[in-house]
Structure 1
Amino acid sequence: MTIKSLAEIGHKEVLEWIKSGPFLLRHMEPGEYLLRQGQTLEHLYWIDDGYCTVSYTAANGRRFSHGRFNIEDRLYGEIEFLTGKPIQFDIRCDGPVSVRVIPIAELEALLVQHPHVGIWLSQCLADTYQGVMDRVTSHFMYPLAYNIAKDLMLRELGNKPPIQFERVFREAERFGCSERVYRRAVSQLIELGLVEKRGRELKVANKDKLQRYLSDEEER
């Protein structure tokens, strides 16, 4: 059997465990936090359905956002569960969210009884790690305008959810920059005829031209 098939078995096992277990079900409102950066993990959360934002605030007050996610059947707190370290990111509800509260001891027992769940959890963490490192590496290696353009192209192609923040400062946080710097990069893309504003959203103005721009930046 492959790692993928073993992980699929673990996924089925954890879903059955979640749905049949006597876990506390909480209905959280927009603005409430599941997890707070720097705190000690007391329990994990299994999200049945809802929208959440994931962000990090540095000691100097600068804020980086991983964005807004449509979550379904997702475990949060798993990294801190495995490392024993303080919570790394703020997980904030960005709409009504239904969650099940998972005691740490219960998850520990499940991993002992069902080893396939551990393989599934490892695969989830590996996927998350690769996704985060792809974004971080791109932010270091390419200009801000390129990263904004690439983000818009991925959404245009359907490779990322078509979700953006309406507030400019929150979009700037996704790229780890100030609102002023973000606006300047967007203006550059608009002047080049690559993107356009439609209401409060940015959209690709010319897909072929934008693809050529991305290719040129990558070859420099």
Structure 2
Amino acid sequence: MQLKPLEKGRFHSLWQQEHDAIEQIMRECITETKSVSAQHRLMEQGQQVNDLILVPQGRISMGYTARNGRCFQLGTMTCDSQLFGEMEFFTDYLCQLDIIAEEPLEISVINGDKLQQALLKTPQFALFFASAIAIDYQDTVDIFTRRMLYPIAYNIAYDLYHQYLKDQPVEGFTKCYLEAERFATTDRVYRRAIKKLEDLALIKREKEGLTICDLEGLKSFIE
């Protein structure tokens, strides 16, 4: 979730009014601030989560590795006061994803026991957590279900179109094999899907990545 005023949801206006107080409560729960290097795991799949991590700025990636060795990359995120571990804090489940620093970061550790006391002391504070978690949950489920139910080419086209609209909750990678994992497939299948979109003259490959050739055509393809 993001420790910023929500711009959507039933309680967004209340969140905006109370944001300074919410942020102050969170900052009172910080017990450590430190620097981490690129590729440091902020959280690890299967880890027991006792504390939350606040990333004020910087780029992270999120991924899952199955027991059969297959990997799924949810994508990358450019953080702006992003909080990680809030789901596990409430459920007491093990961490579901690897959260990895894609560059050197300054992070803050939020003590789980202090946060629990703050929530009990100010029950309204829990409302803001619930709102932010619900929005993140539905955004994530939307990504998972779309990638599971639609063809790879469709998902790539959808992703490119919404990157253009700048309304994606997560972003991609520069490496092809990681992009393939982001669409839960192999590098070979990913390249074949790209070729299909190129043959339709919807996109083209350039050194900096994929670019849209026909915006209206791409929009029609996904609609």
Question: Under a length normalisation based on structure 1, what TM-score does the superposition of the two structures give?
Answer: 0.90
111 and 10 in structure 1: CA distance in 2 versus 1, 3 angstrom threshold: farther
User: What aligned pairs does 1:66-85 form with structure 2 within 5 A after superposition?
Assistant: 66-85=74-93
**2:167 pairs with 1:175:** no
57 and 208 in structure 1: CA distance in 2 versus 1, 3 angstrom threshold: same
**2:122 pairs with 1:90:** no
C-alpha separation between the residues in 1 aligned to 2:44 and 2:38?
15
1:10 CA drift (Å): 5.2
Equivalent residues of 1:8, 1:120 under 8 A apart? no
User: 2:54 aligns to what SS in structure 1?
Assistant: strand
Determine the structure 2 residue equivalent to 1:114. 122
**2:152 pairs with 1:152:** no
**2:26 pairs with 1:13:** no
**2:141 pairs with 1:133:** yes
Determine the structure 2 residue equivalent to 1:56. 64
- Provide, for residues 63-100 of structure 1, a one-character-per-residue CA deviation record: whole Å limited to 9, x for no partner: 11110101111211111111111111100001121111
Moved over 6 A (4+): none
188 and 209 in structure 1: CA distance in 2 versus 1, 3 angstrom threshold: same
**2:143 pairs with 1:123:** no
1:140 CA drift (Å): 2.8
187 and 157 in structure 1: CA distance in 2 versus 1, 3 angstrom threshold: same
User: 2:67 aligns to what SS in structure 1?
Assistant: coil
1:157 CA drift (Å): 2.0
C-alpha separation between the residues in 1 aligned to 2:48 and 2:67?
18
Determine the structure 2 residue equivalent to 1:47. 55
Instruction: Report the identity percentage.
Output: 30
Equivalent residues of 1:7, 1:119 under 8 A apart? no
Q: Which deviates more from structure 2 when the two are superposed, residues 180-189 or residues 129-138?
A: 129-138
User: 1:85 aligns to what SS in structure 2?
Assistant: coil
C-alpha separation between the residues in 1 aligned to 2:44 and 2:169?
25
- Provide, for residues 26-83 of structure 1, a one-character-per-residue CA deviation record: whole Å limited to 9, x for no partner: 1111100110000111311111111110111111011111101011112111111111
**2:112 pairs with 1:104:** yes
Query: Which structure 2 residue ranges, 5 or more long, are not aligned?
Result: 1-9
1:117 CA drift (Å): 2.0
Equivalent residues of 1:25, 1:101 under 8 A apart? yes
Equivalent residues of 2:75, 2:170 under 8 A apart? no
1:212 CA drift (Å): 1.7
C-alpha separation between the residues in 2 aligned to 1:182 and 1:189?
11
- The number of residues matched between the two structures is 214
Query: Which structure 1 residue ranges, 5 or more long, are not aligned?
Result: 216-220
Determine the structure 1 residue equivalent to 2:212. 204
6 and 157 in structure 1: CA distance in 2 versus 1, 3 angstrom threshold: closer
